[in-house]
Every structure is written in C-alpha cells, then in structure tokens.
Amino acid sequence: MRGLSVFVTGHTGFKGAWLTLLLSRLGARVSGYALAPATVPSLFGLAGIEDTMVSHTVGDIRDACSLRTAMRAARPELVLHLAAQPLVRASYRDPLGTWSTNVIGTANVLDAIRDCETVRAAVVITTDKCYENKEWPWGYRETDALGGHDPYSASKAATELVAASYRHSFLDSAGVLLATARAGNVIGGGDWSADRLIPDAARAAAAGATLSIRRPDATRPWQHVLEALYGYLLLASRLLAGERAFATAFNFGPASTDNVSVGTVLGGLQQHWPELRWAHHPEPGAPHEAGLLMLDCARASQMLAWRPRWPLEQALARTAEWYRRVQREPGLARAMCEQQIQAYCA
C-alpha cells in the first residue's frame, strides 16, 4: 500500500475511520468521500483522522456529480467503498433512504470508477446479512442465495447484484478488477452508532445505567474490526496485482467457536468492563431480526491465506480497554487505535 493512492467512501464512519488510519500507517495516500460523522462523539473526530488524509470531502454518494468530481481529483488506483446506511432498525424507519443509499449510491460509485482512468481495482463492502437467511446451523458460502428480510439486508443483497452487473458489463473489459467483501459483526473501540450492541453497552456503562437487551440468545459471527480490514486489504492487494480469480465475493468471519450469543458477548465484556450491567427486556412487536447467522470463510482461507488472528476473548478485551480508557481521557483515541493496530500487525 505504500505510496498508493486510495479513495475510501464512508471514511467518517466507525469501520471507515479505522481503515483510513490503517491505510495511512501503511503509507497509502488516502482521499475520502462521505457524509459528516453521524454520531457525537465520532472516531473520525476524536482520533483526528482527517489529519492523516490527502483530502476529505463531505458528500453524499447519491450525488453522482459531486462523487465523480471528487474521485477524478483524487486520481486513485484503488477504491474501497464502505459508505452505506448500515443499520437494520434504521432501515425499517427509512426504507427508501436505505435502498437509495445502498443500491443507487453503490451504482454511482461504480459508475464514477468507469469514468476514472486511474482506477485499477475496487472492493465493495457489503455484509454477512446479504444472504437469504434460513437460520441453519452452518455457515453461508459465497455461492449461496442472496436475500434479506429487512430493508437493510435486502438492499445489501441488491448491492451485490449491482456490483456483479458492473463487473461483467463494464469493468472487466476496462481492466478494472472488482471484488465484494462480506464481513461478520465487527466490534472495536470508537463505534457510537445507534441500536448496536457495543455502542449501546458503552453508553450505558458511561451513564452508570443498566443496558436493556432485546434478544440475549441471538447469535452472530463476532470479530474485531481489524480482522475484517486485514481481509479487505489482502483482497485489494491481489486485485492490484492483476489476479482476476480474486474479482469475486469473499466472506470474512470469525472461527466457528466465536459465533456466539449476545448474552455470551456481554458476559465476556463484563470480565474486562466491571461497570457494565445488563438485563433482558423483550420487545413484543419489535421488527424482525435474524436469530442465527454464520459464515463459511473457506474461500478467504484457501485463496488469501486469511484467518482470524484475535479470538473473541481478545477482541472483547481490546474493545473494553479502548472504551474505558477513552471515556476517561478522550484525547487517547488516536493513540489507542494506533496501539491496537501495532499489536494486531505484530
């Protein structure tokens, strides 16, 4: 990545901010395009992510003209597309906004790539929720059916179709290699999104309140954010090397032993976060959310030699450490991220 010009959409979000900091530490020249941070505080602001970048453009991926102008100005070789409406419950409140951002917004990004002669490779980040979830007790493979009950999940399945269409119709013939990446539930310091387990836990702990949990039995593939980002960059490196076999979809998830319930995650967090208290409060009539989801990551393991480095216990310890220290001293946000990146890479 050293010296590489990289264009990141969604760099002001939780995962995008970690990615931008990681790329900058690897020596990449990062330009970003995203909405202003959606939360206060935000990792982007606390960690001073803008200071690490070549350029930072505030814009909506649904604004095709603004997006195209920003990408052309950045002249990237690699595009990493993370910008999205990423929340299941928010998608019930605003389904049209979710569909337009995740589907039309992605089409705008891919069309801008068509119009940017410097781009050689791109990775579109979708989600593990893009599969037609039958809640079976084994992992979904990249060849399994796409689908989605809620607007968020369905829009991400549609994003996969948009990416495949652009790959076959335009980008392959232009010599641009495009892949999609489907990660599990990522955790780590610096996420303050609404209706997410770890951010809700952080807010409750900071306020001395008891966290209310709807479904402690819901099971997800939990992993530290750096695990997914490591996978994205491994994949991008193979695309940049011109290896066409990698221009496809890849799952990035934890070991099967780390596919555990919400209650188990909270129990693990409490070992490192004694201020955290929680209680089960069912919500009758709440919107549908999947109870079980698993990923099969054999393709990433075999083709990329990617595998999780931090087991869930370590991911929970790192996450709790980040929030507890930064809640006491917000100025430590950048240093905590850099320390954990260094530990992960070591």
List the chain domain ranges.
5-345
Q: Determine how β-strand 277-280 pairs with β-strand 249-252.
A: unpaired
8-state DSSP, 326: H
Tell me what pLDDT residue 284 has: 75
Tell me what pLDDT residue 214 has: 86
Calpha distance 62→111 (Å, rounded): 12
Neighbours of 166 (CB within 10 A): 22
Tell me what pLDDT residue 282 has: 82
Residue with tokens 């202003």: 36
Phi and psi at residue 50, to the nearest 5°: -60, -30
Q: Note whether 272 and 321 are within 8 A (CB).
A: yes
Q: Does domain 5-345 have CATH number 3.40.50.720?
A: yes
Calpha distance 87→95 (Å, rounded): 11
Burial tier of 104 (Cβ tally within 10 Å: 0-12, 13-18, 19+): middle
Tell me what pLDDT residue 230 has: 97
| β-bridge partners, 110 | none
Calpha distance 178→199 (Å, rounded): 32
Calpha distance 154→249 (Å, rounded): 17
SS3 call for 42: coil
From first to last of the 346 residues of the chain, give the pLDDT tens digit: 999 999 999 999 999 999 999 999 999 999 999 999 999 999 999 999 999 999 999 999 999 999 999 999 999 999 999 999 999 999 999 999 999 999 999 999 999 999 999 999 999 999 999 999 988 888 999 999 999 999 999 999 999 999 999 999 999 999 999 999 999 899 999 999 988 999 999 999 999 999 999 889 989 899 999 999 999 999 999 999 999 999 999 999 999 899 999 999 999 999 999 999 999 988 776 776 666 788 999 999 999 999 999 999 999 999 999 999 999 999 999 999 999 999 999 9
Q: Write out the two tokens for 40.
A: 């206060």
CA angle 297, 302, 303 (to 5 degrees): 100
Tell me what pLDDT residue 288 has: 64
Nearest residue to 6 via CA among 339, 22, 341, 303: 22
Angle between helices 262-270 and 312-328 (to 10 degrees): 60
Tell me what pLDDT residue 184 has: 86
